[in-house]
Structure 1
Amino acid sequence: MSNVPLQPPPANPSPAPPLWSAPPPKGRTGGIAFAVTGIVIAGAVGLLVLGYLAVGLGVSTLAIGAGLAVLPLVVVLLTIRWVDRWEPEPRWALWFAFLWGAAVSVAFALVVDLGIQLAVAYAESGATLDEAMQAVVQAPIVEETAKGIGVLLIYAFSRSHFDGPVDGLVYGATVAAGFAFTENILYFGAALIEGGAEELGATFVVRGIFSPFAHVLFTACTGIAIGIGARRGGGAGVIGWFLFGLTGAILLHALWNGSLAFADDAIGLYFTVQVPIFIGFILVTVFLRREEVRVTRTRLAEYGAAGWFSPAEVQMLATPAGRRQARAWARVQSPPRTAEMRRLITDATHLAFTRQRLVTGRAGLRSSVDEDALLRAVAADRASLVR
């Protein structure tokens, strides 16, 4: 962190900002290029995984399993969208996260599992790895490592979109949602083949109704930890936070799998162990969202003092109630100004978190460029609304 006192935000040069059209802020194209490359690679891996599933399950069974797996996926993605509403992450980064979980992480887990099985069989002729050992030790380590690497890559190549724990939670949850989707297809397909509709129904109840957020809980530990490291200054220290979060994810995953593998009363254990964990996760999420609101309000108030926003506009842009009122006002205008208001809210929120990076000493040249571009974008948004 620099010892040079941080200067206040630049003053607004004009009380009525002129309409301005700008190119995308500099320094963000690297993240987009990474995402496009990653999406292409993950998509190619996804085709291989799809072929593997089609061969192993059969096309009709694959279709049934995929159809059922979509149901919990929709619930999870809608929840992630709710968490991400305050400062939405870019779609390209979320697509990369989902495909990394659904394709690359699954492929990694399958390859490692095959390698371990072959190694055990070679070491002891005809031997197989104990299923409980796979569930409690192998699966948590391999799967959480594969998913966590995806979140770490997003931080490494898109730091301007990784401001803190909520961003890490969103990216980790999205990776996990993709992984759970493909894994559910495997479980549902295998259940249908082995036990017919009855076995499939029981598996769907366990995975689709009782535990659709299981993988989200695990990988969110890694994402939140990386977000904490990013907020505390980034740099090499993020690796330590990544390992800390990954350890928590592995232990929580092992506890979850172990409770299912060894419990005599699975339902009772679900309500006494797993439900409290889920409630705790909800409380942490609510706390982190409130922290985002606080940061937004504090930083936009600084820009308000410099003449960029009126006190009423700070209230409008930095509180949930104010945003609801702003959207309602935009909808009843003639013509409606919903898109313009949404753009102003988004740019102002990004401006607040860019300012947060400057305040916390995580700013480089890119953050200063982003601040300048966002200030002008906010001026253009306001001009289009009052025009």
Structure 2
Amino acid sequence: MTKRILTLTLGLLALANAQAEGDLPFEVEAITSFDEPWALAFLPDGRMLVTEKKGNLLVVTQDGQKSRPVSGVPDVDYGGQGGLGDVVPHPDFAANGVVFLSYAEAGVGDTRGAAVVRAVLTLTARGGTLDDAKVIWRQYPKVVGYGHYGHRLAFDDAGYLWVTSGDRQKFTPAQDMQSNMGKVLRLNEDGSAPRDNPFVAYREDNPLVDDIGVYDEIWSLGHRNPLGLAFDAAGRLWVIEMGPAGGDELNLIVRAANYGYPAVSNGDHYDGREIPDHDTRPEFAKPAASWTPVISPADVMIYRGGLFEGWRGQALAAGLSSRALVRIELDGENAREIERYDMGARIRSVEEAPDGSIWVLEDERGDSRGRLLRLTPKD
């Protein structure tokens, strides 16, 4: 009961920071709209790649002109939280044209899981094509159900590809080292595991471990549904994830750390069963920040530009149930919410443009289409 009263009070205090409609500190310009958009990424020329869950990849200009769907996108297993997911260009996209896409992939029978494909994007006047596509990573094992794929992607400055992998609503895989679900993963760009990943030596030295090699990929474990990841200016990785009934988390990711799910959480099960708090199990890494009531985070970015004065180095989280952008101060290994902006719609994705403006994808619900919004400071 104490846990519920405390977290509810903290949540209500955070909600008190929400902006009244028309009192946002930025201008909101609706650029265009999409059919169930999920992710966007900027290309070097300022255009964007936008994914739609049903399987479309679109090239979009900053004035809202949309291409025809890019051809060559893999077949996606659309349903529930599944479909086409994240998109990131290769760090050297201008020279090689390589992009990476995550998506839900059908398996045997009624099973499915996330996958990542690497392909060369050839841009054309009408859109483009994906060529030389190769699946470089898959969730293991494939399971029944349509939730908690995670599958956000990011490159670090050293050129490693990072993948978030949700627990697929199965709980125990997050602690199971025979599975890459409920983990944060570090890969080479071809999908192989760097030899200095933390659990490579463990697999090689343990005769009881099979040859599937998921140990090699794992950087951290004990995650539920990590739906956003971003690197700060110091190269530290921050991951935001949905908790159960309460306990959304922002975690500073540390090599080989275990973040405790489902053994601990600052929330509880949806059916009311309690989960021990992080404070009860000091062997697990604690979140840098957590939210109850939840914000339902779907994405996170760390602002590096200069257009929004005073925001550099702070995080912005996209909120679904909170229908908000949540601004978060990062202070070393600590974090705290400092302001919440009521956007009037579920927010699916948030990205920074090369000019420092902030671009947001709304999450489609019911008869509404998910809009692409451009945010700039008010004069």
TM-score of the two chains, using structure 1 as the length reference: 0.25
Max radius of gyration: which structure?
1
* Structure 2 length-normalised TM: 0.26
Q: Which has the higher strand share?
A: 2
* Structure number having the greater helix percentage: 1
Higher relative contact order (CA 8 A, sep 6+): 1
